[in-house]
Amino acid sequence: MTIPKAVLALDDSDSLKHKRGEFLLPKNTVYMDGNSLGPLTRAAKARVAEVVSKQWGDDLIHSWNKHQWIDLPLKVGNKIAPLVGAALGQVIACDSTSVNLFKVLASALALNPTRHIVLSQQDNFPTDLYMAQGLSELLGRARCDLKSVTEDQLIDNLDDSVAVLMLTQVNFRTGGVHDMAKLTELAHKKGILVIWDLAHSAGALEVFLDDCKVDFAVGCGYKYLNGGPGAPAFIYAAQRHHAKMTQPLSGWMGHSSPFAFDHDYQAGDSMLRFLTGTPNILSLVALDAALDVFSGLALGELRSKSIALSELFIERIDATSSLNDLELVSPRNSEHRGSQLAYRHSHAFAISQALIDHHVVVDFRAPDIIRFGFTPLYLRYQDVWNAVEILISIVEKKLYTNDKYLGDKCLGRNKVT
């Protein structure tokens, strides 16, 4: 397919074009699902191979000290910190986003003991709501009672009964972005602590946790941070809470002296108290290496390209009459959305499968949404152009009606690989 010179010129002048070479991307594939799983970086592949063959293979248990494995949770946390607007020493990498949310939610409730309501959004990412429900089952509703409202009702429900406001900055379906500064400030005026889930923010948006005076945050290591499948997540806790914060998963690595093997638990200093079990070293070193791709980059530069890529996509969709049945459900104003676009279509699942089969990797969200991710480190303007060209062909030729593109769309299970 012929790519317009104007589009190729955008790639030529792209200040981030050199970053694409740091990723191992499949040939002849447009990868638009980095918001679900970031691709492998060359650095991560080499680092994991070296750790497996040399550190684990040759140095064995000595690597905990010789290669500073024991320090990786804080080391990786300090690499993530500038990506989320946090001073060093306030971020640690460990466990999964869900487990970390459980920890910080319990901690926030303990810091606000005269209240019990956890306020969240009805279309928050489900696992966040599940973790709050699980904590409520454990503590009882008198100590933890989840209240879910619509986005429009959030501000009106910030009152003196609420202990914690728990929100995801970027909506996983629509890509809509909350005003972190505004909501955090309004919550604090009511004595409410605030937890932000940055799963679709970290590495894609400019995030200012310290400036917004956020209390706690959690985030994902395998999406825009490219740490690999199941990569460790991270926790942010504002310095002002470090002396008093606690968390219930008091495992041995969170102890002040883990190798003293004391009978009773004594929490470690600051962020170390959020550790639980033995760190997953192979996953941590992959994430550690992958984060180097952000070295020397300004997040504003990433954000600008992300917007430009998505605007090109929207313009092409809007200008193509055969795609009129695709309904944009993401905010049209780029300031109000993350690094993804969501389109609704009655045949969304089949179209997404046809796109994948034609080497445009997107994902489906039940019941009827196709999600396109725009990761500026490796996605080119010509990739966006080609993706729309393929989408046009699939829709105009009704290729998505082929039986092989049908599947269990309620579960979002792909038939095409």
Residues known to be catalytic: 125, 197, 222-223, 371
Q: Is residue 177 classed as helix, strand or coil in its secondary structure? A: strand
User: C-alpha dihedral over 100, 275, 203, 19, to 10 degrees?
Assistant: -140
Q: Tell me 157's DSSP state.
A: G
Half-sphere exposure for 358 (CA within 13 Å, toward CB): 19
What is the secondary structure of 227-264 as a DSSP string? --TT--EEEEE-GGGTTT---S---GGGBSSGGG--SS
121-126 LR contacts (CB < 8 Å, sep 24+):
121/148, 121/149, 121/150, 121/151, 121/154, 121/167, 121/168, 122/148, 122/149, 122/150, 123/151, 123/171, 123/173, 124/148, 124/166, 124/167, 124/168, 124/197, 125/168, 125/172, 125/197, 125/199
**Residue 119: both structure tokens together:** 């306020």
Q: Tell me 59's DSSP state.
A: I
H/E stretch holding 189 reads helix 180-189
Helix, strand, coil percentages, rounded to 5, for the chain: 45, 15, 40
C-alpha distances in Å from residue 263, one per residue of 256, 271, 275: 12, 22, 18
Nearest to 310 by CA among 232, 383, 253: 383
**Residue 23: both structure tokens together:** 């990723």
Q: What is the identity of the amino acid at 322?
A: S
